Amino acid sequence: MQSTKFHRAALIGRHTEASDVESLKVTRTVMHDVAALVQQAGCEVVIGKRTAAMLGVYGIWEEFDTEAIGRGCDLAIVIGGDGTMLDASQKLAPFGTPLIGINQGRLGFVTDIALTEYQQVLPPMLAGKYVEDRRCMLRGSVMRGDACLFESLALNDVVVNRGPAAHMVELRIETDGQFIANTRGDGLIIATPTGSTAYALSAGGPLIHPQAHVWVAVPIAPHSLSSRPVIIPNPREGVIEIVAGAASASFDMFSFTELHVGDRIVVRRAEDYVRFLHPQGWSFFDTLRKKLYWNAGH
């Protein structure tokens, strides 16, 4: 039996549709393989309740809900895509639970261990040979007057989109009490450095190193050629007010669909951080070259 730095690890899988038989089969196989590696390292294995139900595996490992994982596990291994990791991050960041991501999705910016590599990569990490990477989060609130209608953490971004009708939305943007601009178009993205490789990138935003203490505000299809992404240094609070038009807001995995004129989306730095564990030698720039197919040069 190998030594391990961890005592109890939770397995969390992607929440695939039951009709996606092939994907479920792959997830079950990987889950059993990962569990065996964890146990060989001398670490107890539990499984998330939703994951056990999705995979139809019962009685093999003890089932924990999110709070039990946060309070009772010192590691969570996430098997899925970036969406699965976003969900796990939101739920486990308040507990400080470190996360390892095995990519069963597409790009895998934050689930960075390939399916073809986890059998070699995971054992050294369980023994303590890893790089810890702390990522900042946002806390977004939907305010109507003095009432908070909705609140959520977000690792990637807070997005305000126009409503279902093909009409623009007008937004007023300020940060730390300073007015930035009014913008008209399809909406606005407030992204963390982690979120700079997600929706913000496809909307024309810059790539930002995850350790930079900034946000980026990216207009979505603005009705002005001069409206461009703005990097905001060390922000404490941003406010997006609905000036005209129907709109909705999304916070990574969660949405609030009925915003009215005068509603404000208040974005603050969250007190919680996400703790990602990467294999030794991991580099953000290596990830960009690999995922975005950059020419590595010489």
Residue 68, Ramachandran bin (φ over 0: left; ψ between -120 and 50: alpha; else beta): alpha
- CA separation for the pair 121, 130 (Å, rounded): 10
Active-site residue (options: 82, 157, 186, 263): 82
- CA-closest candidate to residue 210, choices 222, 224, 198, 228: 198
Q: Where are the alpha helices (DSSP H) in 127-270?
A: 199-202
Which amino acid is located at 57 in the chain?
V
Under 8 Å between Cβ of 70 and 155? no
Say whether 252 is catalytic.
no
| Backbone φ, ψ for residue 172 (5° rounding) | -105, 130
> Which residues are the active-site residues?
82
